[in-house]
A = this chain, B = another copy of it.
């Protein structure tokens, strides 16, 4: 804590802000000040058991991950209402439907919580959500504080929407007040149920005076959340129901406040295998004291992530993102994938970025995820729920993650851990990795390139390889990169023969890529099943793809001149006002020889959007080629420092999966898919490992910055193998690194055993 406090003090005080709010780096918050921004601004809250999202009103959805089953908890409105008992006047402090003249509104987007604070008529109401550190549950806290020095005779209502129905048969479901714990119970137990967790339970710390369990009762048949008949009435109807599409958990409580008095109301929604189990859990969690201790846990956990890397960055937004928010976003990915499911490739990449933040948890996640590999070396496309399509790239992502883990932790024991295969059998972690690489190196087509099969990173090129003839240049490059990472580990283990064999195959694959994988001076994307070129000048549309160029650099295929040349073409062909297109020109004609990509509207997703994952690869490639200014400009072009990005309405604190591409006739530049993307992990590594150049290696910490020319000095702190490295950078025009004043050879700091911290000076 001491160290990090010092580091924090050293960070400049200027902060990013825009019309919607500002970063409060001291509290690790983004504070939303505009209650009605262009589009809702979303936060994610999660544990290993449950995940929730919440916008600036606190609205959103939550679900529990019960094995591979996703059980909904709540979804949609989460509403506090305040009703004056005398006048009947009614408003919602966290939604303000009527756009009343609130004296104040703030939504504190926090690490592990979302807190909405409003003041109206001298009444301060705070509504906070969090997901507890364990359990299939979500917690809600409503706090009211009298500010005007008056007596208040109010009622507080709280309403949310339990996702009680687990099947289409609403006849299984009912809801009513429960006698044992006094909360509201929503059982839905079905024949041949997909989950045992058939019961939701809503608990209220202080009980309630009236309640309601259906939307019809709460809003009224012809009412709405804005004008709920139930709240307008004297009391909620307090009756059970069954056969509902829309359940509600709504309660009313008296809220009598003296001058300056404050009261708090904790609520919890939990899932369980019975009314008793879910009731016990929800009741134990619906306590103000529990809420605050859980809030403290969240802050503590996130503080430890803050300390691992902390930098003074002469760009306020990049500082908030790099020190805080990118870590948060990639941590979501490493546990929850893309929420709707966990892509093998996605989770592997997120873990690779996550290892420095929490080594034990990263280790657990690696072992868990490797069990989703088949015995032949290929992997599942997605798990939880399983998606069994024959995608072919999964194994290519394993070595980078294993390598990152080994280099960060020095824990080579993981390589001997035994992990089962998805379809039977088992092997060590090392065996998993090698088998995956050998699978890819052997799965070649007629051009000697790796088969595309159902698809690769480009999920939507899913019509080009199903006959098992189409070959992917990008996947071939990824395979070369994976083979080299694998070989580096084998070398470290002294397995020279295995290493040489893999490098030999990778070398031949590299040659094939250079001979068969280029056209018109750049790397093509693939050959389809009929031998047609995808991503070449001869292609009718989609003539130039981003990822094969950047991955040639990342895999170090071709000489430096070739790499520079193709990256120059990237600038020429793909650059737009908010990043780089994934391919150009977009497809306008659906083709079954390509797949989904060609049917997407131009500018959408893989069809020539600015796919930020691709942009993140490009930044890494820029850095590898020493193009610091390009890397920096590219990074800033996809963040809210770019006015066009800000105008899209995207959260300043979250990276979007894509910007709708410049060729889209309708919504070019819009950013509708934030948070849930592998971009965050890559951008974090771009910033920390490529731009700041701080990278774990087997033999120590490498420091090899590629700064933009506008940065003449910088400062970063990095905890590596228990030692805090305090790294001061200064531009001098010569490369020189000194540890505690002593110059070292090369750019790898040797292990600093026995020390708590060391000062490093880097000239560049």
Contact = CB atoms under 8 A, between A and B. Distances in A.
B666 A600 contact: no
Nearest to A35: B222
Given A598-B191, A664-B242, A221 B604 contact: no
Contacts of A599: 172, 189-191
A241 B36 contact: no
Interface stretch (A248-256, A564-572, A588-596, A732-740): A588-596
A646 interface: no
Contact of A172 (B241, B595, B601): B601
A599 B173 CA distance: 9
Contact of A666 (B176, B462, B595, B660): B176
Contacts of A590: 189-191
Contacts of A462: 191
A581 to B, nearest CB: 15
Contacts of A243: 601, 604, 660, 667, 670, 672
Contact of A242 (B39, B173, B240, B604): B604
A174 B221 contact: no
A447 B36 CA distance: 70
Interface residues of A, number: 44
A245 to B, nearest CB: 10
A459 B85 CA distance: 50
B666 A604 contact: no
B666 A241 contact: yes
Main secondary structure of the interface of A (DSSP, over half): loop
Given A174-B666, A226-B226, A243-B667, 18 more contacts: A36-B221, A39-B221, A169-B596, A171-B605, A172-B599, A173-B601, A174-B601, A190-B599, A191-B590, A191-B595, A192-B463, A192-B592, A240-B666, A242-B601, A242-B603, A242-B660, A242-B666, A243-B601
20 contacts: A36-B222, A39-B221, A40-B221, A171-B600, A171-B601, A172-B601, A173-B601, A189-B590, A191-B462, A191-B463, A191-B598, A192-B463, A224-B224, A240-B665, A240-B666, A241-B666, A242-B666, A242-B667, A243-B601, A243-B660
Interface in A236-292: 239-243
A605 B665 CA distance: 50
A38 interface: yes
A563 interface: no
Contacts of A479: none
Interface in A157-178: 169, 171-174, 176
Interface in A651-685: 660, 664-667, 670, 672
A118 interface: no
A634 interface: no
Contacts of A39: 221
Number of copies: 2
Nearest to A170: B604
Given A36-B222, A39-B221, A191-B590, A169 B600 contact: yes
A128 interface: no
Contacts of A704: none
Contacts of A226: 224, 226
A607 interface: yes
Contacts of A240: 665-666
Nearest to A216: B39
B666 A239 contact: yes
B172 A600 contact: yes
Nearest to A595: B191
A399 to B, nearest CB: 32
A665 B240 CA distance: 8
A190 B591 CA distance: 10
A187 to B, nearest CB: 9
A224 B225 CA distance: 10
Given A191-B599, A242-B666, A171 B604 contact: yes
Interface string A172-212: 11101000000000000111100000000000000000000
B221 A38 contact: yes
A175 to B, nearest CB: 8
Interface in A36-91: 36, 38-40
A596 B192 CA distance: 8
Contacts of A191: 462-463, 590, 592, 595-596, 598-599
Nearest to A175: B666
Contact of A241 (B222, B592, B596, B667): B667
Interface in A602-642: 603-605, 607
Contacts of A172: 599-601
Contacts of A224: 224, 226
A665 B243 CA distance: 12
A266 to B, nearest CB: 28
Interface in A276-318: none
Contacts of A664: 242
A359 B600 CA distance: 47
A449 to B, nearest CB: 23
Contacts of A40: 221
Contacts of A604: 171, 242-243
Contacts of A173: 601
Instruction: State the 9 A-B residue pairs at the shortest beta-carbon distance, nearest first.
Output: A171-B604, A171-B600, A240-B666, A191-B596, A242-B601, A242-B666, A174-B601, A191-B599, A171-B605
A242 B600 CA distance: 10
Residue among A171, A239, A600 with most chain B CB within 10 A? A171
A672 B246 CA distance: 14
A47 B125 CA distance: 55
A601 B174 CA distance: 7
A226 B222 CA distance: 11
A190 B221 contact: no
Given A36-B222, A191-B596, A599-B189, A607 B665 contact: no
Interface string A733-760: 0000000000000000000000000000
Contacts of A36: 221-222
Nearest to A37: B221
